[in-house]
Amino acid sequence: MDVVSVVGPDAVKAVLADPGKNFSAKLAIDAFMKDFIGRAILARDFEDHRYHRRIMQSAFKSGPMKTYLDRMTPHIALGLRRCESEQFFLFHPFIKKLSLRLASGIFLGLEQGSDLDRINSALVVMMNGAISPIRLKIPGLAFNEGLVKRQLIADYISELIVERRKNPSMDMLSEFCNAKSEEGEQFSDSDIIDHMIFMWLAAHETTTSLLCHVMYRICQFPEWQSRLREECYGIGKPAIDYEDLPKLDLMDWVIKETLRLHPPAPITMRTSLRECEFYGFQIPANTLISIGPGISHFLEEYWSNPQQFDPLRFSPERAEDKSHTHAYVPFGGGAHTCIGMHFAAMQVKAVLYQMLLNHSWETPAGYDPKFKMTPIPKPKDDLPIKMTNFPRRSQFH
Ligand code: HEM
């Protein structure tokens, strides 16, 4: 099919901000992902989308965010205790498993037990199906297997909804069951199922990809690893609380710089609803538009030495990301801007904090990875890494 690729901040802004309501996220999603995404928030446009976003927003307010962070903390500590020290292991599968564990706990409130293992393995199969290139419903193919597991997960969430509506717990599902917009609007059961499943697809692989690239970069630049560790010592507790997040400025800039160089969602899609003119070009109706941060994040017009890893470009003195409203778009823009961007930053900070406090990390000497860009970016070799434990610092335990 024909696809129009729009590049550069002005073009990205025109499509994502979309003042003329010319571009549909729903039609683009329906073209590729309808079977997995259903009527989730990204598959809704304009007023219908705004209605769902207003309700969903309440699950990302500071109250629930604090409880999500409290819930993450022990799982991160446990995950790290299971890491072998003093020998190289593959970081990507390790962090993917940890992220899955965090997501099951925070999204559905699942703790240790048979449901957790059953649902986690179903989620892995579902995600592999969702990103599989061969999209045919033939038994045995990843796409079809993913759909079978999606149904299993949907049935499971449907049973949980009944329970969580009666006895809310400290998880996102309970938030969705009880979420109300300021106007009193609420989600139906089938909305909740689609939204929860999409949340998984949107959150899990992207956060894994980000953590993997941050670790690669702070091993490549050990001076940055030391600076971040010093910043963690400044907080001086075994794990961060919600109130500590704004104190981690350097970590924030490292995360932002990694998102600039390695955006975990390299492409977003829209479909034109009608013929429109775009910087002198005609885009026919019903055409797929591909929008990515890839070019905007590397234009010398907006970034100094764009190929260089330089977290200080995000400091208030330089604020290169503010050079154009759409020069920096790892979380998209406009109405569908990532609703989980603060959640992702919180999770990555919580993990990095515990990883750096009592351990140092290194990649093999002269490590120079090749990167895989699709479906979700990651180092091709899964990032071999070695952890060394520091002598215990009593004040942090
Ligand atoms: C580093 C991690 C992440 C990245 C880079 C990322 C990136 C994105 C991007 C680019 C979009 C816009 C898609 C579009 O316009 O077509 C998006 C939307 C979305 N993201 Fe994220 N995301 C991340 C983590 C998360 C997390 C942790 C959650 C949930 C906890 C989440 C939930 C969502 C949802 C629900 C949407 C759709 C919002 C809407 O349609 O209004 N994301 N994300």
Q: Give the containing element (helix H, strand E) for 23.
A: strand 23-24
Range of the domain at 383: 3-396
Nearest to 379 by CA among 387, 369, 368, 389: 369
Question: pLDDT tens digit string along 206-259?
Answer: 999 999 999 999 999 999 999 999 999 999 999 999 999 999 999 999 999 999
* CB 27 less than 6 A from any atom of ligand 1: no
Q: Is 339 helix (H, G, I), strand (E, B) or coil?
A: coil
CATH code of 24's domain: 1.10.630.10
Signed CA dihedral, 369, 373, 378, 380: sign only: negative
Going from the Cα of 87 to the center of ligand 1, the distance in angstroms, rounded, reads 35
* CB 212 less than 6 A from any atom of ligand 1: no
Nearest to 73 by CA among 98, 91, 107: 98
Please report the pLDDT score of residue 77 as a whole number: 95
Cβ distance 39 to 327 under 8 Å? no
Give the tokens for residue 340: 């989980």
Residues listed for the chain: 397
Question: pLDDT tens digit string along 323-332?
Answer: 999 999 999 9
Asked if pLDDT for residue 341 goes beyond 60, the answer is yes
Give the tokens for residue 219: 């091993």
Question: Which residue minimizes the CA distance to atom 3 of ligand 1?
Answer: 206
Q: Where are the alpha helices (DSSP H) in 57-187?
A: 62-81, 91-103, 114-130, 142-166, 172-178
Predicted confidence band at 395 (pLDDT cuts at 50, 70, 90)?
A: low
Cis peptide before 375 (omega within 30 of 0): yes
Going from the Cα of 36 to the center of ligand 1, the distance in angstroms, rounded, reads 16
Give the tokens for residue 395: 């004040």
Predicted confidence band at 393 (pLDDT cuts at 50, 70, 90)?
A: low
* CB 268 less than 6 A from any atom of ligand 1: yes
Nearest to 269 by CA among 6, 38, 1: 6
Going from the Cα of 259 to the center of ligand 1, the distance in angstroms, rounded, reads 13
Cβ distance 212 to 369 under 8 Å? no
* CB 271 less than 6 A from any atom of ligand 1: no
Cβ distance 211 to 349 under 8 Å? no
Domains in the chain, number = 1
CA distance 371 to 396: 36
Question: pLDDT tens digit string along 276-298?
Answer: 988 888 999 999 999 989 899 99
Helices 114-130/142-166 angle, 10° precision: 130
Question: Which residue minimizes the CA distance to atom 17 of ligand 1?
Answer: 338
